[in-house]
Amino acid sequence: MKSISVFCASSDGSKPIYLDSAYALGKALAERNIRVVYGGAKIGLMGKVAEGALNNGGEVYGVIPGFLRSKEVAHESLTKLIEVDTMHERKTKMHELSDGIITLPGGFGTMEEFFEILTWGQLGLHSKPMGLLNVVGFYDALVEQFEVMVSNELLKPVNREMVLLDDTIDGLLQKMDNYQPPSVTKWISSERT
């Protein structure tokens, strides 16, 4: 992987470890010469990811919709800041610029980004590894919900396995390096008409 998109909160969260983990992720990616692609903001976990990479010689590409840039939340000291018109264009551009996706703690926006990219993978539109960095168990309940989906036969186990999970950066990056996408995509059988 030469570049990784990072989805995360534009706020700080309630625990300092969220900011610390965001900075550590940016630093770890820079040290591995992996470009960070993220939402382009200078605030919250987003800003810390960028800071961690930039302070350690990394490349950081930010992708931000114009309406957010105009609210003065854009990080203007990035390697490259790409302005787009819409939130959907932001996700598409981040996807185009990355070889994998890591999701840190976040709210609705973070989840929406992660689940859209995950759905694209389930549909066979890409084969990139997608990981959740499970900082202090932040994603435990979500992973439990995935198991509920599988046990109720609303999610195939092979698709559940697309979500890589680890509570350490090194462990998650190793899982991403070893990722094998499912050989079966989610399409209605051609036998049904």
Where are the chain's structural domains? 3-177
Q: pLDDT tens digits, the chain, 193 residues: what are they?
A: 999 999 999 999 999 999 999 999 999 999 999 999 999 999 999 999 999 999 999 999 999 999 888 776 899 899 999 999 999 999 999 999 999 999 999 999 999 999 999 999 999 999 999 999 999 999 999 999 999 999 999 999 999 999 999 999 999 999 999 999 988 665 555 444 3
Query: For the whole model, what pTM was predicted?
Result: 0.93
Q: Do 135 and 167 contact (CB within 8 A), yes or no?
A: yes
User: How many angstroms separate the CA atoms of 187 and 193, rounded?
Assistant: 12
User: How many angstroms separate the CA atoms of 94 and 83, rounded?
Assistant: 11
User: How many angstroms separate the CA atoms of 68 and 175, rounded?
Assistant: 33
Residue 143 CB-half CA count within 13 A: 15
CATH 3.40.50.450 is right for the domain spanning 3-177: yes
Place of tokens 């551009």: 93
